[in-house]
Amino acid sequence: MENIKLGIDFGGSGIKGGLVDLNKGELVGERHRIETPKPAAPQPVAEVINDIITHFEYKGDFGVAFPAAIQSGVVRTASNIDKSWIGSNAEEIFMQVTGHPNKVLNDADAAGMAEVKFGHGKDIKGVVLMITIGSGIGTAIFSNGVLVPNTELGHIHYKDKVAEKWASDAVRKNEDLSWKKWAKRFAEYLQYMEKLFYPEIIILGGGASKKFEKYAEHLKDVETKVVPAKLQNQAGIIGSAGALL
């Protein structure tokens, strides 16, 4: 039986949507991307999401992978989006603007859920650590396939700095770091995660996962198996749609 839902990934630079076949864990057709509005405040973001729904002529509920800690639809953090989101109910805002019921969840949690169901985290016993690398660093932790939501380990302090302010892909670009120099920092962050959680596998998602071959050799001191997301940068779209099940 066909089971197709719309998933939307709200990122720092772009808001991407796609129809997802939840039986196969893959996109149906091309994704649609619109630049993230500046500022990324509730009303303009909701309008972009409505434009994506209209583009696909979609009817029904949809999922949104959101760059914040989310509790029952309520936004609790705002590191790479407008601070006016904090304390607001994103699900209610999207419902008001689009007229569609929806499910909002943390973006790294969404990407991790997709990888655990359809990707490299499938059927792995023990701890799976998903890390998304983009405007910030997002994390999702699973124990025997069960998610611990809203871990936000990109916000931990490492070397007197917030980790994502030191080792995100945005930092690599802003400081014009070579892949080797950036990877040295990122490897230290991964080693710190190893000491805290002893994962069976570390899965890398986000935009930088597509360039894995440029820095993989510089992660050799990380003992845990590190792989790029099987679903690559589509994991957030697929995971957000899958959250509707």
DSSP letter string, 71-135: ETTEE---SSS-GGGTT-BHHHHHHHHH---EEEEEHHHHHHHHHHHHSTTTT--SEEEEEEESS
Site of tokens 């957030």: 236
Confidence (pLDDT) at 13: 86
Share above pLDDT 70 across residues of the chain, in percent, rounded to a whole number = 100
H helices present in the chain, as ranges? 42-55, 90-98, 107-118, 164-167, 169-174, 179-197, 235-242
Neighbours of 24 (CB within 10 A): 11
Angle at CA of residue 160, ends 156 and 164, nearest 5° = 45
pLDDT at 2: 73
Rounded percentage of the chain residues whose pLDDT exceeds 90: 90
In this prediction, residue 41 carries a pLDDT of: 96
Residue found under tokens 């996962």: 209
Q: Interior CA angle at 205 toward 200 and 206, to 5°?
A: 160
Residue whose token pair is 């931990």: 156
Q: Which domains are present in the chain?
A: 4-108+235-242 (3.30.420.40), 121-230 (3.30.420.40)
- One-letter amino acid at 141 equals I
Mean pLDDT across 59-71: 96
φ and ψ at 105, to 5 degrees? Answer: -145, 160
What distances in angstroms separate CA 243 from CA 166, 193, 238, one per listed residue?
31, 26, 9
User: Rounded CA gap, 70 and 87, in Å?
Assistant: 10
Per-residue model confidence as pLDDT tens digits over 133-142: 988 999 999 9
> What is the model's pLDDT at position 148?
96
Report pTM.
0.93
- Position 227 confidence tier, pLDDT thresholds 50, 70, 90: very high
Provide the pLDDT for residue 1: 65
Q: Could you tell me the two tokens for 2?
A: 């066909």
Does the pLDDT value for residue 84 go beyond 90?
A: yes
Mean pLDDT computed over 75-98: 95
Q: How far apart are CA 200 and CA 194, in angstroms?
A: 9
Residue 46 makes CB contacts below 8 A (sequence gap 6+) with 93, 94, 96, 97, 98
Q: Answer whether 27's CB lies under 8 Å from 234's CB.
A: yes
